[in-house]
């Protein structure tokens, strides 16, 4: 069997302006795919409708283009695995959830957030370095209960049941292309949500269905998602799909040492551009933070020859901009 063609992706959520941290992740994912002669996919992860910011998708695309990061398939240009926006892919998520329910890998759950918090036996801890916020740990309340009973219980509270993955058999470790063998915390994987009671597919499910459907072979994304990876690998297994490789790149910290997030109001790529900072200067700062050898750099493409994923910095980085 020949190895599948290399396909990377960038999968931003259009919930705010792109900052240096997102740009660094996009650049590294792009360099990883392109330096191996692979294709690059842009997928817009807009499932969390209330958080979607009007105009953010267009702004993301123009920021990427300004930096010289191009893509072969995406919402603006289509491709063989369209649509490339999660809000238009509900049918695929439902089909996967039906399969998981049918073979017993998933179950219906009537618990509200409050029920889950009340039943939580221990504070959620997913291992050292874990920065994902998955909320209180689910105690398994509805697992093994007859679906009709769970549906009736949810209906009595005016809701539809959610769907959860049975995480008990999940493997806890995986190989990260940057960090080596990563081992999740001793508590293992909880029964995470696949579909919320409002019918929306959850991130964990959607990202696996999409990466598999779009033939993604290499996932390069932010370190904040490292705790999601064992969950996603378990889903690949349950759906009989081959997982991609995973690499989690360091987060960018503000000069005061805080993780860039909307809360910390990091400078957006658009505002740097408006201030007259050139794409070359931004690329240079991003490349230096990734340990790419200094040298004359004009464009993202000029960074390709020296790129090596295995050699980029593991720890969080701060960036120096002129």
Nearer to ligand GLU among residue 24 and residue 221 (C-beta): 221
**Which is nearer to ligand GLU, 70 or 132 (by Cβ)?**
132
Chain position carrying tokens 């221990």? 122
| Contact positions vs ligand GLU (CB under 6 A) | 11-13, 45, 207, 221, 225
Give the orientation angle of helix 203-213 with respect to helix 229-238, to 10 degrees: 60
Q: Which residues are catalytic, by number?
A: 262
Least separation in angstroms between residue 282's CB and ligand GLU is: 19
User: Could you write out the three-class secondary structure of 30-58?
Assistant: HHHHHHCCCEEEECECCCCHHHCCCCHHH
CA distances in angstroms from 30 to 46, 219, 222, 240, listed in the order given: 21, 10, 13, 27
Distance CA 184, CA 174 (A): 9
CB of 15 to ligand GLU, least distance (A): 8
108: enclosing H helix or E strand: strand 106-109
CA of residue 27 relative to chain centroid, distance? 15
CB-nearer residue toward ligand GLU: 154 or 219: 219
The greatest distance separating any two alpha carbons of the chain, rounded to the nearest whole angstrom, comes to 66
Rounded to an integer, what is the distance from CA 70 to the centroid of its chain? Answer: 19
Kindly tell me which of 12 and 74 has the beta carbon lying closer to ligand GLU: 12
Q: Which of 30, 35, 38 is nearest to 6 (CA)?
A: 38
Reading the block at residue 272, the tokens are 């740097």
* In the complex, minimum distance from the CB of residue 201 to ligand GLU, in angstroms, rounded to a whole number: 13
Residue whose CB is less far from ligand GLU, 190 or 211: 211
Q: Report the alpha-carbon angle 245-250-251, nearest 5.
A: 125
């Amino acid at each position: 069997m020949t190895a599948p063609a290399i396909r990377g992706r960038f999968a931003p959520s259009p919930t705010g302006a792109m900052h240096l941290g997102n740009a660094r992740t996009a650049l590294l994912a792009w360099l990883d795919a392109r330096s191996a002669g692979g294709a690059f996919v842009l997928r817009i992860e807009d499932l969390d409708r209330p958080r979607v910011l009007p105009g953010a998708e267009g702004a993301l695309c123009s920021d990427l283009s300004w930096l010289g990061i191009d893509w072969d398939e995406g919402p603006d240009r289509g491709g063989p695995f369209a649509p490339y926006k999660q809000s238009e892919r509900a049918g695929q998520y439902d089909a996967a959830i039906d399969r998981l329910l049918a073979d017993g890998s998933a179950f219906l759950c009537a618990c509200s957030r409050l029920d889950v918090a009340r039943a939580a036996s221990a504070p959620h801890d997913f291992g050292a370095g874990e920065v994902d916020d998955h909320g209180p740990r689910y105690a398994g309340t509805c697992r093994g209960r007859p679906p009709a009973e769970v549906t009736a219980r949810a209906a009595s509270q005016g809701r539809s049941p959610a769907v959860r993955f049975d995480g008990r058999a999940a493997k806890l470790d995986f190989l990260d292309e940057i960090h080596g063998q990563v081992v999740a915390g001793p508590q293992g994987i909880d029964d995470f949500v696949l579909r919320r009671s409002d019918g929306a597919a959850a991130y964990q499910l959607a990202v696996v269905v999409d990466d598999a459907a779009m033939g993604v072979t290499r996932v390069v994304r932010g370190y904040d998602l490292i705790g999601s990876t064992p969950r996603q690998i378990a889903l690949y297994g349950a759906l009989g799909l081959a997982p991609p490789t995973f690499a989690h790149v360091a987060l960018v910290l503000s000069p005061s040492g805080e993780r860039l997030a909307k809360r910390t109001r990091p400078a957006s790529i658009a505002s740097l551009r408006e201030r007259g900072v050139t794409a070359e200067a931004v690329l240079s700062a991003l490349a230096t933070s990734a340990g790419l050898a200094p040298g004359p750099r004009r464009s993202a493409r000029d960074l390709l020859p020296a790129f090596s994923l295995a050699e980029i910095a593991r720890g969080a980085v701060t960036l120096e901009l002129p």
